[in-house]
Amino acid sequence: MRTYIDELKKHVGSEVSVAGWVDARRAHGKLIFIDLRDRTGVIQSVVTPKHEAAYAQAALLRGEWVIEARGIVNKRPEKMVNPDLETGTIELEITDIAVVGHAHELPFDKEEKLNLDTHLDHLPLTLRSARNRAIFSIQARIIEAFRIFLKKEGFVEFQSPKIIGEDAEGGASVFKIEYFDHEAHLAQSPQFYKQIMVGIYEKVFTTGNVFRAEKHSTTRHLNEYTSLDVELGFIRDHHDIMNLGGRLMHSIISHVAETSAHELKILGATLPLIPHEIPHMKLRDAQKIIHERYGEDCAKEPDLSPQHERWISEYALKQLNSDFIYITHFPSEKRPMYVYEDEADLGYTKSFDLLCRGLEVNTGGQRIHEYDDLVAKIQRKGLDPEKFSFYLQAFKYGMPPHGGFGMGLERLTARFLSIDNVKEATLFPREINRIDTLLSH
Amino acid sequence: MRTYIDELKKHVGSEVSVAGWVDARRAHGKLIFIDLRDRTGVIQSVVTPKHEAAYAQAALLRGEWVIEARGIVNKRPEKMVNPDLETGTIELEITDIAVVGHAHELPFDKEEKLNLDTHLDHLPLTLRSARNRAIFSIQARIIEAFRIFLKKEGFVEFQSPKIIGEDAEGGASVFKIEYFDHEAHLAQSPQFYKQIMVGIYEKVFTTGNVFRAEKHSTTRHLNEYTSLDVELGFIRDHHDIMNLGGRLMHSIISHVAETSAHELKILGATLPLIPHEIPHMKLRDAQKIIHERYGEDCAKEPDLSPQHERWISEYALKQLNSDFIYITHFPSEKRPMYVYEDEADLGYTKSFDLLCRGLEVNTGGQRIHEYDDLVAKIQRKGLDPEKFSFYLQAFKYGMPPHGGFGMGLERLTARFLSIDNVKEATLFPREINRIDTLLSH
């Protein structure tokens, strides 16, 4: 019966079986010390010449070899206690070792700070570092919290296809697929399907990969990422969606705080500050603030630039005590065809971006729900409604006022943990020149 | 404050606000009856000429129009009670109606039994039927149960990329993508990544879309489906994986039974019979049984045909009292390069298929974990290890004995509910000739 390392403290004085990777091995006089790592932690182990076979085996061990071992859990003397280690009050005296997986010599210490390309070239090894295990275990908690919250609110999960004909966002940055004798595309979002699903269950969510053929490589963009998508019917306006998004964010932050104290400590990360209600302002008001406080006149621009987003986040933190701020009312002509125009502010939409610590992490808003309005809007955008006939059925056969949003899981992870480059918060990031390994030219 | 339909019973005698779709509308003498549908149920409502404006509005309503209404919840007289309806003891007397979404005339009654193509052509409408809402709400419960069970067992969720270079399964049925100036592919499974992740967390799972460029259109195949994937380290052999798969299946079946009694009743479905331990047999023994009981000699074949799977399932149900059976030990040369050969039965693998009611729903087994063995196996398959260098790092830097499995969510849904064609258990199925609408030629 295997005992996990985080349970060893309960077995002081007993013999246990453990298994894991050799995190480090060093000789100290006649003693061999092995830091053994499993999915729950690291334990300092010692092998003495007294246990001949184990000692001979221990002498051969190298980093990342996989072993099963037996040993006695001993309490460390007071002065040997390591307060930085969860298991710092105990030590394992190993009596038997069996090697179950061998490793070649490591190219570098996996805990080393590497440049991004070296890190990405060696992910199967570098992801094993304490830092990376902490990042992606928090990422798992974020998506878990997303689902827990929405299920409590009565949302139904659905599975959205990624192979699509026409793209919802209508942009150029879409990947082409050879679909038998046809050309198809990879979905940039589950937009059409989540709207259709509002007709089925009113409140829906979906999680899954989405694809953007962005040619520029930045610290903010990914060619493939995990989108957390929500859509709900019978709303009054976009404020209902923003309110839902705010409560969801509260819930995610609490869940990460409750489940991941150890990981946050490893990363030295502080979760974002979120007030009871996330502040919001129109794009035009944000632009005024930028002009007044930072001296740049961007009033004519249809969106915020990355620098503008950082400025407004700085403003929100200093003036509104919030790491989050909603920017609303982007101009109608720059938003996709399904976005709802504000009757009280013509030319501007009931849509929003949510900024967190200088970066947009959530985009959403109210959608057009009347068939005739949507067909007219598609035409006004210079598109052909016939190409959207499948999607349009949802509206032809009755849709309530509705809206929703989409969040990038990797961006959210990066902002929660103050990681500058979103690629470091992505397990296996795709770049224009990289699919796991660099693409040859 | 909106009241959902399944809560109306608590409000007899009170005035409530409701919202939803017109499921049906009929005039009966001077009365207009409206069956109003929301995400929680259907309520029979009545409008009398007494409420003039509401009555005039009700006269205009048609199927699938979306309304908000106010009214009084009345108890039905004993003889008017409808025992087939959850809300059959009450009726809503509507006093106000506001139309919030209009619908065109419906092409057919959405509850009608349609042929598959008509169904698929009109999914935004046909998915609204009671039957389809039940199917996909059970599907949501299956994936929910999958995650709940694995998290309790200490598995960590991870996000697997779908854009890949080389394919894990090495088959021909892989879709090509234009990836900037390169050719890339759509993943047929998260196989490589889940194995890599065993090196990080030991026990991992992932859910997401996978893609198969299968040219044949059958009742069993999908070109895109949701794969539920599991991988775990420190196993003894494939029996540990099969045992995990069995406990997982028990847990899913219990969860669906507990959460979905109403939906199972709508579908007239009986969940599969699962014994405490799922029986297992080698492929060769299954072939012997087929020969003896059904007269077909298939001993030379490397796999079971669909008919063989049905026969063995029939045998398992009659003789072993189980809707499930594991078939193990497929020949090594017909399984992918990562599959582990049984040292005690050379030429055959520690792999399995799990059949449920005549169809394979889960495939898995132990994997090769030593780097040198895996490189040798890749070469023996006539493949170039250099192309797998990224993946191979996981093994180069130390891997424990491990294994796992993958299940198709849609197939599982279909078998649980005894739905013959898996496309009816898929929200938006992709076919060789269809992406939402039929592809033109």
For chain B, which residues make up each domain, given as ranges?
A: 5-101, 120-438
ipTM of the complex in this document = 0.97
Q: Do A102 and B398 touch (CB under 8 A)?
A: yes
Chain A residues close to B143, C-beta within 8 Å: 157, 159
Q: Do A143 and B125 touch (CB under 8 A)?
A: no
Within an 8 Å CB–CB cutoff, is residue B93 touching chain A? no
Query: Contact at 8 Å (CB) between A141 and A259?
Result: yes
Of residues A128, A234, A371, nearest to B2 (C-beta): A234
The amino acid sitting at A109 is D
Chain centroid to Cα B377, Å, comes to 34
Residue B299 token pair: 């001993």
Cα dist from B373 to A323, A385, B232, whole Å? 51, 56, 19
- pLDDT (tens digit, 9 = 90+) per residue, B369-418? 999 999 999 999 999 999 999 999 999 999 999 999 999 999 999 999 99
Chain B residues close to A144, C-beta within 8 Å: 151, 157
Query: Contact at 8 Å (CB) between A271 and A254?
Result: no
Within an 8 Å CB–CB cutoff, is residue A103 touching chain B? yes
Residue B208 token pair: 């997401």
Residue A441 token pair: 């030219």
- pLDDT (tens digit, 9 = 90+) per residue, A285-303? 999 999 999 999 999 999 9
Nearest CA in chain A to B108: A397
Percent of residues, chain A, with pLDDT higher than 90: 93
Percent of residues, chain B, with pLDDT higher than 90: 93
Chain B residues close to A103, C-beta within 8 Å: 371, 396-398
Chain B residues close to A125, C-beta within 8 Å: 199, 393, 397
User: How far apart are the C-alpha atoms of A297 and A153, rounded to whole Å?
Assistant: 42
Of residues B101, B128, B162, nearest to A400 (C-beta): B101
Q: Do A144 and B136 touch (CB under 8 A)?
A: no
Within an 8 Å CB–CB cutoff, is residue B208 touching chain A? yes
Within an 8 Å CB–CB cutoff, is residue A427 touching chain B? yes
Chain B closest CA to A314's CA: distance in Å?
31
For residue A276, count other CB atoms closer than 10 A to its CB.
7
- Alpha-helical (H) ranges within A215-362 are 238-259, 261-267, 283-294, 306-320
CATH class of B120-438: alpha beta
Residue B192 has pLDDT above 70, yes or no: yes
Chain A closest CA to B390's CA: distance in Å?
7
Interface test with A, best of B66, B160, B235 (most A CBs within 10 A): B66
SS3 content of chain B, % helix, strand, coil (to 5): 35, 30, 35
User: How far apart are the C-alpha atoms of B133 and B259, rounded to whole Å?
Assistant: 14
**SS3 state at A317:** helix
Query: Contact at 8 Å (CB) between B163 and B173?
Result: no
Give the closest residue to A214 by CA, choosing from A350, A354, A414, A408. A408
What are the residues facing A403 on neighbouring strands? Answer: A232, A366
Interface test with B, best of A200, A224, A423, A432 (most B CBs within 10 A): A200
The predicted pLDDT at position A84 comes to 84
Report, as an integer, the average pLDDT of B10-25: 97
- pLDDT (tens digit, 9 = 90+) per residue, A59-103? 999 999 999 999 999 999 999 999 888 899 999 999 999 999 999
The predicted pLDDT at position A218 comes to 87
Of residues A101, A175, A211, nearest to B369 (C-beta): A101
Query: Contact at 8 Å (CB) between B259 and A151?
Result: no
Q: Do B127 and A430 touch (CB under 8 A)?
A: no
Residue B218 banded pLDDT, cuts 50, 70, 90: confident
Within an 8 Å CB–CB cutoff, is residue B48 touching chain A? no
Chain B residues close to A104, C-beta within 8 Å: 371, 396-397
User: How far apart are the C-alpha atoms of B429 and B280, rounded to whole Å?
Assistant: 32
- pLDDT (tens digit, 9 = 90+) per residue, A340-382? 999 999 999 999 999 999 999 999 999 999 999 999 999 999 9
User: How far apart are the C-alpha atoms of B204 and B404, rounded to whole Å?
Assistant: 9
Residue B371 token pair: 């780097």
- pLDDT (tens digit, 9 = 90+) per residue, B201-213? 999 999 999 999 9
Within an 8 Å CB–CB cutoff, is residue A373 touching chain B? no
User: How far apart are the C-alpha atoms of B124 and B424, rounded to whole Å?
Assistant: 14
Q: Do B201 and A394 touch (CB under 8 A)?
A: no
Contacts (Cβ under 8 Å, ≥6 apart) of A109: none
Report, as an integer, the average pLDDT of B245-252: 98
Packing angle of the helix pair B409-416, B130-152 (nearest 10 deg): 120
Question: How long is chain A?
Answer: 441
Average pLDDT score over chain A: 96
Within an 8 Å CB–CB cutoff, is residue A176 touching chain B? yes
CATH class of A5-101: mainly beta
- pLDDT (tens digit, 9 = 90+) per residue, B111-120? 899 999 999 9
Q: Kind of pairing, strands A182-186 and A176-179?
A: antiparallel
What are the residues facing A225 on neighbouring strands? Answer: A210
- pLDDT (tens digit, 9 = 90+) per residue, A314-327? 999 999 999 999 99
Of residues B39, B102, B136, nearest to A202 (C-beta): B39
Residue B248 token pair: 């997982």
Note whether A5-101 and A120-438 share their fold.
no
User: How far apart are the C-alpha atoms of A378 and A26, rounded to whole Å?
Assistant: 68
Within an 8 Å CB–CB cutoff, is residue A387 touching chain B? no
Bigger pLDDT: A413 vs B440:
A413
Average pLDDT score over chain B: 96
Q: Do A201 and B132 touch (CB under 8 A)?
A: no
Within an 8 Å CB–CB cutoff, is residue A191 touching chain B? no
The predicted pLDDT at position B168 comes to 63
Within an 8 Å CB–CB cutoff, is residue B143 touching chain A? yes
User: How far apart are the C-alpha atoms of B207 and A157, rounded to whole Å?
Assistant: 13
- pLDDT (tens digit, 9 = 90+) per residue, B302-325? 999 999 999 999 999 999 999 999
Give the closest residue to B265 by CA, choosing from B144, B117, B84, B99. B84
Report, as an integer, the average pLDDT of A136-150: 98
Residues 218-247 of A with CB under 8 A from B: 223-224, 226, 234
Query: Contact at 8 Å (CB) between A411 and A424?
Result: no
Within an 8 Å CB–CB cutoff, is residue A127 touching chain B? yes
The amino acid sitting at B43 is I
Query: How many C-alpha atoms does B31 have within 13 Å on its Cβ side?
Result: 9
Q: How many CB pairs under 8 A join A and B?
A: 263
**Please, what's the largest Cα pairwise distance for chain A?**
85
Chain centroid to Cα B89, Å, comes to 34
Residue B217 banded pLDDT, cuts 50, 70, 90: confident
